[in-house]
Structure 1
Amino acid sequence: MMEKQMRDILPIMGVEYDCIVSRQGDVTVAFQVDLPELFTLSDKEYEAFHQAWVKAIKVLPKFTVFHKQDWFTESRYTADFEKADTGFLSRSSECFFNERPYLKHSCYLLFTKKPDGRKPSSSLFCNLLRGSIVPLQTINRQLLLDFLDSAGQFSRILEDSGFVKLNRLKEEDLVGTINKAGLIERYCALSTDEHGLPLLKDISFDEGLKVGDAHCQLFTLTDAADLPALCGARINYDRYSTDRTKFSVGFASSLGQLLSCNHIYNQYIFIEDNAQTLKKLESKRLRLQSLSAYSRENLIARDATNDFLNEAISHQRLPVKAHFNVLAWTDQKSELKELKNKIISALAELDATGKLETVGAPQIFWAGIPGNEADFPMNDTFDTFCEQATCFLNLETSYRSSLSPFGIRLGDRLTGFPVHVDISDEPIKRGYCTNRNKFILGPSGSGKSFFTNHMVRSYYEQGTHVVLVDVGHSYKGLCEMVGGYYFTYDEKHPICFNPFYIGSDDQLDTEKKESIKTLLLALWKKDDETFKRSEYVALSNALGLYYKKLETIPSIFPGFNSFYEYLRDEFTTVLANDNVKEKDFDINNFLYVLRPYYKGGEFDYLLNATGNLNLLNERFIVFELDNIKDHPILFPVVTIIIMEVFISKMRKLKGIRKMILIEEAWKAIAKEGMAEYIKYLFKTVRKFFGEAIVVTQEIEDVISSPIVKQAIINNADCKILLDQSKYQNKFDQIQELLGLTEKEKALVLSVNKANDPNRKYKEVFISLGGMHSKVYRTEVSPEEYLVYTTEETEKMKVQEYAKKYGGIEKGIKALFSETGINNKRK
């Protein structure tokens, strides 16, 4: 085959005023389109989106070519190792995801205005084979302005739907620069790098279509007989559907993000002269009527044409011509068969039969050059209506990372490609949520503790003060990793605090005094006992005088022991001098009841801690209550301490994010008369740049607890659910309780339905105010896994190595080097 130079046959004359002008006088306007993310739209949203496309296309003038070009290119995640604040676990995550393959998507929309009277192109008369003269109409300023106005109307209609954003491409985006290839050059070279350098490649049609090293396969939908019998805005995605829910994706999604190879999905809709089109079809119907007596085929064709005309007139449909094709490529010729099978399978998902183009491939490929749409061979199109044609548009893109500086790392559902997700600040800015509180529901083994560990660690690394209340030692590894305070109880190391200690940057304010008085009264009186006003005043005076003494004698260490001694040795004299009667404040009874907490008593350790004192400024604190949740003495004291610690942080740490996460312990806390505190917390914490999070396993617990049902759920705009498959048949109850929509129900029940068996991860559903819902992967590096794990054998192994090598980080590194786990991470 003879060679031709690209400069001699390139159909583009130039780019003027950000419009592509072809050698035949066609003018093209181009946009980049931001589509909704895959797996995020509901049935109704697909219908609304479809109608928006139809309305928008109908404003385009006659003799316009609508060309939507979706690029899907195989890419790999590039780790960022240069972050100054990257810790051990963040670096491990970057290493783990480095080179992770994923399918990158970019979408372009091109409107081409053909000059009136332009002769339709065909496979035989393509500008790849012949030249042309620019018509006078192309340089008519008013016609160009009218066309740009129509393109602007299209853009406004589509953007007003709320589903997409359109950005007009500038000259440098179309023709490129010295350092970056433009869209036209990128297509001619089939460059997979959107920001790559310009690169010239040979295009060969000798043995099929070949661009540089890329061997191409071109599958087309060109004949109405090969199309599915039914089409719509959406289709069921069986992998994520259940017996009770149907999971929706766009009708043509199998040709888009779900087709895992390098490919371009081209969608063409040709808007002709409506009256002329109907006139031609009427003539065709009359010819077929005349010939219908000679063959049954003519009779069937006549009826089909008649039905088409009836629908066009009775329903005011816009008749158009359409064409759709998938251009896929690979650098390895041996992979062409696999590529072919993938595309055939994807077309079969639509119930369509594609045609593998060979003879007509060069002309179709050539017409795909941005700006050359008007030269598309019309013999490869079919007649349809705008409503049906738009069903074949690709409506979705891949998951996008949030631009917010704050967030957590999760993964997209298809490949696990890491995405940055903000579930605290951005939802409030966008109006999805009014608070940062979260409600997390997940049965045992669903990956609940794993997700919360990951979330808490991400928040901590970004400066958050974290208070955790746990009952299963789920956060011991993470606490040790970040060097936080871990309060737990065992016989050798009983739990201990020091509520009397005031740090150097803290002060004895009213709130501190009130919390100590609340604690002392709780230790003195039973739940059903009330205290007198005189008793309250006496304790206030005692605390004031005690702290004055500490100021004058700094050598006295603050704690319950020294406070008890002050009451016993000095405050009794104060009471006597003030003539306080025993019935008003029984100091002897008070000292006797609180004697067990003084040195030598049964609980002398509880309020006399000498370590882990600066709770206000400690950024990571875990209260592990598993061994004391049923203890009548210790548990009420610890809950009061927890309350005081977080409220102190909440009110005193101005402008600093703070979080309290209460695991299953909320059930015990609610029983201990702390229900009002939880209610107060969920309603008030948002005002102090804080968030309260409650985690639970069983939905029955939620239903049976009025405090949780009303206060927590109603004041937690972010709802996080893990695998609910065991509740599939009674999910309606959960749906009603949490106020989930049908779309969210389908998303929740799709969690972990079709996980990649070659990777270890769990999925998580996140709903932000019921307005923005998505399912993500929680996939982490092996290092993060060992820090988060709740498997007893794995925890013991990590602890063994941590003890042996002097720290959990060194222990994990040693564990990898000795066992070779690190080499198996991929």
Structure 2
Amino acid sequence: MSELLQPAATLEEKQPIYKVESNCLISKNADVTVAFRLGLPEIFTRSQQDYASMQAHFSKGVRLFPNHTVLHKLDAFVEDKYAPGFEPDSTMLSHAYQQYFHERPYLHHYCYLFITKTASSRDNWNSLQTLLSRARIVPKEMMSEETLSEFFTAVGQFVRVLTDSGITVTQLSDDEICGTESTSGLLKKYLSLDFRDHAPTVDIDFTEGLKVGAKSCCCFSLGHLDDLPAALHTDTKYGPLSKDNSPFYVGFAAPLALLLPVNHIYNQYIFLDDHKKTLKSFEKKRDNLNALSLYSRQNAINKEFYDQYLNEAHSFNKLSVRAHANVLAWTENPHEEKALRETVGAALTSLNCAARQNTVDIGALFWAGIPGNAGDFPSEETFYTFEDAATCLWSTETNYRDSSSPFGIKLSDRLSGKPVHVDLSDEPMKKGLIKNRNKFVLGPSGSGKSFFTNGMVRQYHEQGAHVLLVDTGNSYKGLCELKGGVYFTYEEAKPISFNPFFVVGKPDVEKRQSLHTLILTLWKFADEKVTQSESVSISNAIAQYYQLLETDLSIEASFNTFYEFLQGPYRDHLETVKVREKDFDLQNFLYVLSPYYRGGEYDYLLNSQKQLNLTQESFIVFELDNIKDHPILFPVVTLIIMDTFLQKMRQLNGVRKMILIEEAWKALATANMAEYIKYLFKTVRKFFGEAIVVTQEIDDIITNPIVKDTIINNAHCKILLDMNDFLSRFDDIQRMLSLSDKEKNLVLSINRNNRPGPKYNEVFISLGGRISKVYGVEVSKEEYVTYTTEQTEKMPLFAKVESGMTMEEAIQVYAEELRQAS
């Protein structure tokens, strides 16, 4: 190791890569390497079966390669900070959200796989023979075209195997490896331990361990069988999210990868030597130990180990390989070096591995980790095992990924709290994960439903969606006022009021049919028969009324003028065509409808002075809490809700539409409304829309046939919040919602191990049962005061509005007060 003790050497002198061409790295040992970027599955989304399946694919892929091949998987985890993109036209709440998460720390994961075909056998290659230690580098002859062709064929097959396992594989180009004038290449990034696009050039110091620039490094390696536990598995139970009735699993190597909260690289190596030659050497060693077993019990024990290994290799056709794994961690703060070593050592101990810090060979291990230089790895740091056991040491997970769709909502990564862009509507439809955009939301009181739905509704609306909300409990009043929406509610001093007769232009067939249904509802009981002649008479009245409005522009559309039309012109028309009283009793009709006419008990209901075109209003809230049991008002309001959304569905072509029905759906699920609910959930997809139902009562989803047969079956996105209140009956929920055991464990892990710091809730989202994840729902103070349903927290906000502030000003002032108080 005399070369290591020299005061200095240039990187050009020691650089192990001879050239990069045709997207391959060629080392000065004449090794050829193909480099890939891997996209792993997201953490906290896999089951035991998923991990076993992935490991089986890895094992199958390793067996494809010829002798003298090295697979080097490099996972770099680098501390980073969230950098939001502040849009110049973003709304106040959107800006507050981005500002709140500005510089939120997280581990950025970079995953690479290097597949190297060595020009010769390296099973006895040690640290004294590496390119870092040799004074002179003698170029080797290149491999034959036949050997390279066999290798590249195996690489292509391996890529297909990885793709089949759910991993995305992208081959790195020459520019990505070497860099360009404007960006750093992977080689420079590794040598500086900085994986950003603009990595600096730094000095590397091997005199006392390893120091890369200002980064002091430590290395813990798994290079001997004594370093490993008695058995390697594909997964390990993750204690913080597990309970006896709902175990939760992560990949076996996850504690050394994404769950290790420090700057580090996790290197995993598999070396494929000559399998037959290896077994033959083991047979010889076994025979020698057998001959010496009489002289030492240890010889007899070792002989049994060789027997067991050879028997397994032959009986199960397993491939003998050499393997190694190491964790290279670093810090720029000298005071953190001890804590860094302790953290890495604890992670290894949690897997029942020996926490062996490698101080002697850290330089050789770092140098062998250079992309394309795995053939230079010292053999004394490897151990023999089978390919299936070696691949158990591979990391299999990454952070939550942003959706590639431009449309979506912001939720939080479960591990770090970093914002994640999630599309629950368009992208899943395009990928075939769901067949409609409808959603079913279940969560007990206090589980955070309103915060989730408020955030979803706001973001949908800000991206151009028309939103219609049916609520009980004033959950959306603040958001509605902020958005300049229309808020319908009933108060004694300010009763609810509409004008369903107001239309822009001529009423279409559906509008006339809607008015027809409304008038029949006002006139007849739900179980009262309507004759053909009565139905025709009402249809004629509506048609002639709108003809009158076209000719006499002084008449304003309302129930009052419609009633007056019935008393005058339409009465004359009936007498002219000689309609008999038994066919249509106009007097009875006018009498029953008189409470809704001027001076009647409900004259306010259908005669609003605001000529609102609800079809064009993009944010509408119907607050039904005070009238949900009213025999007169509730049926009328529900029909107007029906009419409003149907008009939006039919008229707003190309515009996204959402109807969200909170607990009020129970009142809507009457005999009169059942058919509408069924129609809505089955057809809204065709009109670029989605229907969302929110409930907090478990009996509602189990006993109500409309929910069970229509809503759940036609809501392919299922959203559940904290189910702790429903644990004793969760089996019923699981069966009713057709949740898999993996999804059950995900749901029951909600809020089980929330991060310290700002309070937040978690939410489970399943897209057609194909993709299921738990996200964090964390918001800024501005969003909090807008969404909160706590009366004591809402009162100060609306008091500020009543004092003369705009809603936006009141939200900002109130949020700042809360920040100052915390």
Q: TM-score, normalised by structure 1?
A: 0.97
SS at structure 2 position matched to 1:30: strand
Q: How many Å apart are 1:418 and its aligned residue?
A: 0.6
Q: How many Å apart are 1:237 and its aligned residue?
A: 1.0
Q: How does 1:407-446 map to 2 (within 5 A)?
A: 407-446=408-447
Find the aligned partners of 1:512 and 1:812 in 2 and give their Cα distance. Answer: 39
Which position in structure 2 is the counterpart of 1:512? 511
- Per-residue CA deviations over 1:755-781 (Å, capped at 9, x if unaligned) read 013121110000000001111011111
- Per-residue CA deviations over 1:187-217 (Å, capped at 9, x if unaligned) read 1111142x124x2211112232110000111
Q: Does the 8 Å CA contact 1:782/1:822 hold for their aligned counterparts?
A: no
Q: Does the 8 Å CA contact 1:802/1:809 hold for their aligned counterparts?
A: no
Match of 1:101 among 88, 98, 105: 105
Q: How many Å apart are 1:469 and its aligned residue?
A: 0.3
SS at structure 2 position matched to 1:399: coil
Q: How many Å apart are 1:115 and its aligned residue?
A: 1.4
1:334 partnered with 2:332 = no
SS at structure 2 position matched to 1:201: coil
Residue segments in structure 2 that go unaligned for 5+ positions in a row: none
The verdict on how the C-alpha distance between 1:541 and 1:299 changes in structure 2, with shifts beyond 3 A counting, is: same
SS at structure 2 position matched to 1:356: coil
In structure 2, what residue type is equivalent to 1:107?
C
Q: Does the 8 Å CA contact 1:416/1:777 hold for their aligned counterparts?
A: yes
Which position in structure 1 is the counterpart of 2:698? 699
Q: Does the 8 Å CA contact 2:75/2:110 hold for their aligned counterparts?
A: yes
1:590 partnered with 2:563 = no
Q: How many Å apart are 1:820 and its aligned residue?
A: 5.8
Find the aligned partners of 1:444 and 1:344 in 2 and give their Cα distance. Answer: 43
Q: Does the 8 Å CA contact 2:127/2:133 hold for their aligned counterparts?
A: no
In structure 1, what residue type is equivalent to 2:495?
P
Find the aligned partners of 2:184 and 2:497 in 1 and give their Cα distance. Answer: 65
Report runs of 4+ in structure 1 exceeding 3 Å deviation. 117-120
The verdict on how the C-alpha distance between 1:239 and 1:727 changes in structure 2, with shifts beyond 3 A counting, is: same
Q: Does the 8 Å CA contact 1:485/1:612 hold for their aligned counterparts?
A: no
In structure 1, what residue type is equivalent to 2:176?
D
Find the aligned partners of 1:575 and 1:88 in 2 and give their Cα distance. Answer: 58
- Per-residue CA deviations over 1:779-823 (Å, capped at 9, x if unaligned) read 111111111111111111111122224211101222244x26169
In structure 2, what residue type is equivalent to 1:219?
F
Q: Does the 8 Å CA contact 2:596/2:606 hold for their aligned counterparts?
A: yes
SS at structure 1 position matched to 2:670: helix
Find the aligned partners of 1:364 and 1:118 in 2 and give their Cα distance. Answer: 15
Q: How many Å apart are 1:699 and its aligned residue?
A: 1.5
Which position in structure 1 is the counterpart of 2:557? 558
Match of 2:184 among 177, 181, 185: 181
Which position in structure 2 is the counterpart of 1:668? 667
SS at structure 2 position matched to 1:3: coil
Find the aligned partners of 1:414 and 1:3 in 2 and give their Cα distance. Answer: 42
Q: Does the 8 Å CA contact 2:497/2:606 hold for their aligned counterparts?
A: yes
Match of 1:40 among 45, 49, 59: 45
Q: How does 1:115-514 map to 2 (within 5 A)?
A: 115-118=119-122, 120-130=124-134, 131-136=136-141, 138-161=142-165, 163-193=166-196, 195-197=197-199, 199-503=200-504, 506-514=505-513
Find the aligned partners of 1:440 and 1:755 in 2 and give their Cα distance. Answer: 21
Q: How many Å apart are 1:118 and its aligned residue?
A: 5.0
Q: Does the 8 Å CA contact 1:805/1:811 hold for their aligned counterparts?
A: no
SS at structure 1 position matched to 2:73: strand
Q: Does the 8 Å CA contact 2:210/2:363 hold for their aligned counterparts?
A: yes
Q: How many Å apart are 1:139 and its aligned residue?
A: 5.0
Q: Does the 8 Å CA contact 2:785/2:814 hold for their aligned counterparts?
A: no
- Per-residue CA deviations over 1:698-730 (Å, capped at 9, x if unaligned) read 121111110110011101110000011222232
Find the aligned partners of 1:17 and 1:462 in 2 and give their Cα distance. Answer: 44
In structure 1, what residue type is equivalent to 2:21?
E
Residue segments in structure 1 that go unaligned for 5+ positions in a row: none
1:678 partnered with 2:689 = no
Greater displacement, 470-479 / 43-52: 43-52
Find the aligned partners of 1:117 and 1:368 in 2 and give their Cα distance. Answer: 19
Q: Does the 8 Å CA contact 1:470/1:623 hold for their aligned counterparts?
A: yes
Find the aligned partners of 1:549 and 1:21 in 2 and give their Cα distance. Answer: 87
Find the aligned partners of 1:25 and 1:427 in 2 and give their Cα distance. Answer: 47
Q: Does the 8 Å CA contact 1:64/1:114 hold for their aligned counterparts?
A: yes
Q: How many Å apart are 1:290 and its aligned residue?
A: 2.6
- Per-residue CA deviations over 1:607-650 (Å, capped at 9, x if unaligned) read 00112611000000000000000001000000000000001100
In structure 2, what residue type is equivalent to 1:800?
A
Which position in structure 2 is the counterpart of 1:539? 538
Greater displacement, 380-389 / 225-234: 225-234
Find the aligned partners of 1:739 and 1:284 in 2 and give their Cα distance. Answer: 56
How large is the RMSD of aligned CA atoms in angstroms? 1.3
SS at structure 2 position matched to 1:419: strand
Between Structure 1 and Structure 2, how many residues are aligned?
816
Find the aligned partners of 1:52 and 1:25 in 2 and give their Cα distance. Answer: 30
SS at structure 2 position matched to 1:594: helix
Find the aligned partners of 1:139 and 1:391 in 2 and give their Cα distance. Answer: 31
Q: Does the 8 Å CA contact 1:636/1:672 hold for their aligned counterparts?
A: no
Which position in structure 1 is the counterpart of 2:8? 3
SS at structure 2 position matched to 1:627: coil
The verdict on how the C-alpha distance between 1:820 and 1:778 changes in structure 2, with shifts beyond 3 A counting, is: closer
Which position in structure 1 is the counterpart of 2:66? 61
Find the aligned partners of 1:798 and 1:612 in 2 and give their Cα distance. Answer: 29
1:621 partnered with 2:623 = no
Which position in structure 2 is the counterpart of 1:86? 90
Q: Does the 8 Å CA contact 1:534/1:585 hold for their aligned counterparts?
A: yes
Which position in structure 2 is the counterpart of 1:73? 78
Find the aligned partners of 1:110 and 1:14 in 2 and give their Cα distance. Answer: 16
The verdict on how the C-alpha distance between 1:816 and 1:442 changes in structure 2, with shifts beyond 3 A counting, is: closer
Find the aligned partners of 1:823 and 1:455 in 2 and give their Cα distance. Answer: 28
Find the aligned partners of 1:675 and 1:118 in 2 and give their Cα distance. Answer: 74
1:761 partnered with 2:760 = yes
Q: How many Å apart are 1:671 and its aligned residue?
A: 2.5
The verdict on how the C-alpha distance between 1:736 and 1:118 changes in structure 2, with shifts beyond 3 A counting, is: closer
The verdict on how the C-alpha distance between 1:321 and 1:680 changes in structure 2, with shifts beyond 3 A counting, is: same
Greater displacement, 684-693 / 111-120: 111-120
In structure 1, what residue type is equivalent to 2:402?
S
- Per-residue CA deviations over 1:333-392 (Å, capped at 9, x if unaligned) read 111111112111211221111310111111111111111111111001111100101001
- Per-residue CA deviations over 1:109-154 (Å, capped at 9, x if unaligned) read 0011111345732123222110332222x15333222222211111
In structure 2, what residue type is equivalent to 1:692?
A
Greater displacement, 737-746 / 140-149: 140-149
In structure 2, what residue type is equivalent to 1:809?
E
Find the aligned partners of 1:5 and 1:823 in 2 and give their Cα distance. Answer: 57
Find the aligned partners of 1:321 and 1:139 in 2 and give their Cα distance. Answer: 23
Q: How does 1:791-806 map to 2 (within 5 A)?
A: 791-806=790-805
Find the aligned partners of 1:282 and 1:444 in 2 and give their Cα distance. Answer: 68
In structure 2, what residue type is equivalent to 1:647?
L
Find the aligned partners of 2:321 and 2:544 in 1 and give their Cα distance. Answer: 90
SS at structure 2 position matched to 1:355: coil
Q: Does the 8 Å CA contact 2:785/2:815 hold for their aligned counterparts?
A: no
SS at structure 2 position matched to 1:15: strand
Q: How many Å apart are 1:228 and its aligned residue?
A: 1.2
- Per-residue CA deviations over 1:439-491 (Å, capped at 9, x if unaligned) read 11011000011100010111000110111000111000110110000000000
Which position in structure 1 is the counterpart of 2:733? 734
In structure 1, what residue type is equivalent to 2:225?
A
Which position in structure 2 is the counterpart of 1:530? 529
Which position in structure 2 is the counterpart of 1:26? 31
